[in-house]
């Protein structure tokens, strides 16, 4: 083999090796987005670190006011009481200045949800959430169970009332919240067809904002994220960043966004069969470098008299249909630098997100 051919072969192998190594590196999981604004989000940093194993312990530390805590757990935590005795409790009201962190890959809040009201500076990381066990424990033809189950609900259909049916509910004046590397799910919506049995996976209402939701896995549900409870629930500082999340087999609200500003980038959505980003009532959403596959109505505005708008940048759509059409254009005001975490090549988003989104993916955790 002559020297020129040998040098060319060596260069090609070297380039392939460098490219492969660069691609396989763990992404930057640092906090970016709107949770870095408004004074930033540090959770319980600088406070006492505690390890909990029971619902009572988690509730005690998470609900303690005016005290910084880094709360860790590594296994399944269920609510207290029982469905049969009609004394089940599965809601925790998270107070300000808390970090609640799952260790390893088995931290699971089974039948437990978080409510965040008038609280700020909270980090929730590496935890799996579901209310399936509550629904499965309700006896057939059960009558109402206070704070747990409604036979007719708001729309004449059965409804879980634990934590108001949400896995995480953020409301009133709650700000500076980071939800990262978590998993949220209920039941396959094609099989469990009551769209009201559970409410949202992560909902945000009232004067709440400066939130980042990153590297999370949302799946098997009807209504993913309601942002703004009605067309009158508007807030100018409702500012939320969604990035590198994996959405799979969900009907809609990914998210449904009323008013304010959002940044939705580098997310992968598969089999969202009702609609993904629904921008309503004057909202402006930057939808940037996302990968949408086998989805319906990727970016749209529907069901409000006042429409929303979107800034669409380099998104990839594979086998998608957009019956509702795209909303009006806008230019979203994004004040933070996110270049260090941005996946610049949209075609890479699918593999990166499916590899690194969800629990057990944090290095050193």
Domain boundaries, the chain: 33-356
pTM: 0.93
Q: Which residue has the tokens 């499916």?
A: 354
For residue 148, report the phi and psi dihedrals to the nearest 5 degrees. -125, -45
Measure Cα distances from 314 to 287, 293, 296, 311, 349 in Å.
9, 14, 18, 10, 12
Average pLDDT over residues 304-325: 96
pLDDT in the model for residue 26: 87
**Multiple choice CATH, 33-356, 2.160.20.60, 1.10.10.10, 2.160.20.10, 3.10.50.40:** 2.160.20.10
What's the CA gap between 236 and 26, in Å, rounded?
A: 35
Region 112-122 average pLDDT: 98
Of 7-11, 91-95, 326-330, least confident by mean pLDDT is 7-11
CB 201 within 8 A of CB 168: yes
Position 11 scores a pLDDT of: 42
Given a cut of 80, is residue 9 above it in pLDDT?
no
- How many angstroms separate the most distant Cα atoms in the chain? 85
Question: Where residue 120 falls among pLDDT bands split at 50, 70, 90?
Answer: very high
Q: How far apart are CA 258 and CA 299, in angstroms?
A: 14
Active site residue 253: yes
Q: Rounded to a whole number, what is the distance in angstroms from the first to the last CA of the chain?
A: 49
Q: Give the CA distances from residue 236 to residues 186, 277, 326, 341, in Å, rounded to whole numbers and listed in that order.
A: 31, 19, 23, 26
Tens digit of pLDDT for each residue in 23-67? 457 899 999 999 999 999 999 999 999 999 999 999 999 999 999
Mean pLDDT of 337-349: 98
- Residue 321 to residue 295: CA distance in whole angstroms: 7
Query: Rounded mean pLDDT of the chain?
Result: 93
Q: What is d(CA 166, CA 200) in angstroms, rounded to the nearest whole number?
A: 5
- In whole angstroms, give the CA distance from residue 95 to residue 91: 13
User: Which among 182, 35, 237 is positioned nearest to 120, based on CA atoms?
Assistant: 35
Helices (H), the chain: 3-24, 55-62, 132-137, 349-356
Set 238, 253, 258, 280: catalytic member: 253
pLDDT tens digit sequence for 260-312? 999 999 999 999 999 999 999 999 999 999 999 999 999 999 999 999 999 99
For the stretch 228-261, pLDDT in tens is 999 999 999 999 999 999 999 999 999 999 999 9
């Amino acid at each position: 083999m002559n020297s020129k051919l040998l040098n060319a072969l060596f260069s090609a192998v070297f380039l392939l090796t460098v490219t492969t190594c660069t691609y396989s590196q763990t992404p930057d999981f640092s906090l970016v987005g709107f949770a870095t604004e408004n004074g930033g989000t540090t959770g319980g940093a600088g406070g006492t670190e505690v390890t909990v194993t029971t619902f009572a312990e988690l509730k005690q530390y998470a609900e303690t006011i005016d005290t910084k805590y880094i709360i860790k757990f590594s296994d399944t935590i269920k609510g207290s009481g029982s469905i049969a005795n009609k004394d089940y409790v599965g809601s925790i009201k998270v107070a300000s200045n808390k970090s609640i962190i799952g260790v390893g890959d088995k931290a699971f809040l089974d039948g437990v949800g978080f409510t965040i009201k008038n609280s700020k500076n909270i980090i929730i990381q590496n935890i799996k959430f579901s209310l399936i066990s509550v629904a499965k424990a309700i006896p057939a033809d059960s009558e109402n169970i206070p704070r747990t189950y409604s036979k007719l609900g708001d729309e004449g259909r059965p409804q879980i009332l634990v934590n108001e049916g949400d896995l995480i509910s953020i409301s009133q004046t709650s700000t500076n919240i980071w939800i990262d590397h978590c998993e949220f799910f209920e039941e396959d919506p094609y099989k469990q067809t009551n769209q009201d049995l559970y409410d949202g996976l992560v909902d945000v209402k009232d004067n709440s904002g400066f939130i980042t939701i990153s590297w999370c896995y949302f799946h098997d549900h009807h209504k993913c994220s309601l942002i703004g409870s009605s067309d009158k629930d508007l807030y100018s500082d409702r500012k939320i960043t969604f990035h590198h999340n994996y959405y799979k087999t969900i009907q809609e609200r990914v998210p449904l966004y009323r008013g304010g500003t959002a940044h939705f980038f580098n997310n992968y959505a598969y089999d969202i069969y009702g609609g993904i980003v629904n921008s309503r009532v004057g909202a402006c959403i930057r939808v940037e470098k996302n990968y949408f596959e086998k989805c319906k109505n990727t970016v749209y505005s529907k069901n409000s008299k006042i429409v929303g708008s979107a800034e669409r940048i380099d998104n990839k759509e594979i086998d998608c249909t957009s019956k509702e059409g795209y909303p009006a254009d806008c230019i979203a005001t994004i004040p933070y630098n996110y270049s260090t975490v941005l996946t610049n090549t949209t075609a890479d988003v699918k593999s990166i997100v499916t590899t690194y989104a969800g629990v057990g993916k944090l290095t050193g955790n």
